[in-house]
């Protein structure tokens, strides 16, 4: 029970990595708060996680939704011990197809939404608290068509260092987990045809030294390490979980 009596707030907990992490945190004793933008997916996630879970509807592109959700979390539990700021999305767009609207769409969720989630939650965190964010192998590797997704993740990687420095005096640690290619619904939302998706997946897999996609549980276990006291002397880092993709 690595998170016994802890309150953990998870964004993007309705699908993929976030959902698997919510289940693991719950199994490790945490009270779990899940934020999601879609009522049906939230309810389904609640059933899958089971037990002690607070489901909060919030579109993280809307600052007022974030504020309302964090206030509801505070009203229910009084404090937050762990924030897993994990929600994210991306669309494939080569340079000539990028519009100001698409830039806003990426940054408002992947950067601003994450930033405001952490900003609003931190006042309710105590000494020993842990902030974990999800970055990506794309903050290290350049892949055509993914400039916006990659840039938002690089910005979040930077944030981990600055907020880590700001929050260290309060005993709150800030770290990132950086997934490689993980089997989740994420890829189906990139705006690719089935054919393009299959080709992209094959091209990525060919670059992975461990020769396979990772599973959400493999990221969830790393998020658990960073969330729990097992990593009590670790702050400001990005824990890379990518089958060697960015290392060899």
Ligand X SMILES: NC(=O)c1ccc[n+]([C@@H]2O[C@H](COP(=O)([O-])OP(=O)(O)OC[C@H]3O[C@@H](n4cnc5c(N)ncnc54)[C@H](OP(=O)(O)O)[C@@H]3O)[C@@H](O)[C@H]2O)c1
Residues in touch with ligand X (CB under 6 A): 11-12, 14-18, 36-38, 41, 58-61, 86-89, 109, 134, 136-137, 179, 181-182, 184-186, 189
Say how many Å lie between the first and final Cα of the chain, rounded. Answer: 35
The CB-of-233 to ligand X minimum distance in angstroms stands at 25
Place of tokens 């992947």: 110
Q: Which is nearer to ligand X, 31 or 136 (CB)?
A: 136
The CB-of-138 to ligand X minimum distance in angstroms stands at 7
Residue 150's nearest CA partner among 86, 87, 235, 92 is 92
For residue 23, give both structure tokens.
Answer: 């289940």
Report the alpha-carbon angle 7-230-139, nearest 5: 85
The CB-of-128 to ligand X minimum distance in angstroms stands at 25
Indicate the pairing of strand 238-241 with strand 130-134.
Answer: unpaired
For residue 100, give both structure tokens.
Answer: 């100001």
Q: Which is nearer to ligand X, 205 or 234 (CB)?
A: 205
**CA 248/CA 182 separation, integer angstroms:** 18
Q: Which is nearer to ligand X, 96 or 202 (CB)?
A: 202
The CB-of-17 to ligand X minimum distance in angstroms stands at 4
Q: Which is nearer to ligand X, 38 or 126 (CB)?
A: 38
């Amino acid at each position: 029970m690595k998170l016994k009596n802890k309150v953990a707030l998870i964004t993007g907990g309705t699908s993929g990595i976030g959902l698997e992490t919510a289940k693991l945190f719950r199994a490790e004793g945490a009270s779990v708060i899940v934020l999601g933008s879609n009522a049906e997916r939230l309810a389904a996630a609640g059933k899958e996680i089971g037990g002690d879970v607070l489901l909060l509807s919030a579109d993280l592109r809307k600052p007022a939704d974030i504020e309302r959700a964090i206030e509801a979390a505070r009203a229910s539990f009084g404090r937050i011990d762990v924030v897993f700021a994990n929600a994210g999305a991306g669309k494939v767009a080569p340079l000539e197809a990028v519009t100001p609207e698409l830039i806003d769409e990426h940054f408002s969720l992947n950067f601003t939404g994450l930033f405001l989630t952490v900003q609003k939650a931190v006042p309710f965190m105590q000494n020993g608290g842990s902030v974990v964010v999800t970055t990506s192998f794309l903050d290290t590797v350049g892949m055509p068509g993914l400039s916006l997704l990659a840039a938002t993740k690089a910005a979040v990687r930077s944030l981990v260092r600055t907020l880590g420095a700001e929050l260290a005096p309060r005993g709150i640690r800030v770290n990132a987990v950086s997934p490689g290619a993980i089997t989740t619904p994420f890829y189906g939302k990139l705006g690719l045809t089935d054919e393009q998706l299959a080709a992209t997946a094959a091209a990525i897999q060919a670059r992975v030294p461990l020769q396979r996609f990772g599973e959400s549980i493999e990221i969830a276990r790393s998020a658990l390490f960073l969330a729990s006291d097992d990593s009590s002397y670790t702050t400001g880092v990005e824990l890379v979980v990518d089958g060697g993709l960015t290392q060899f």
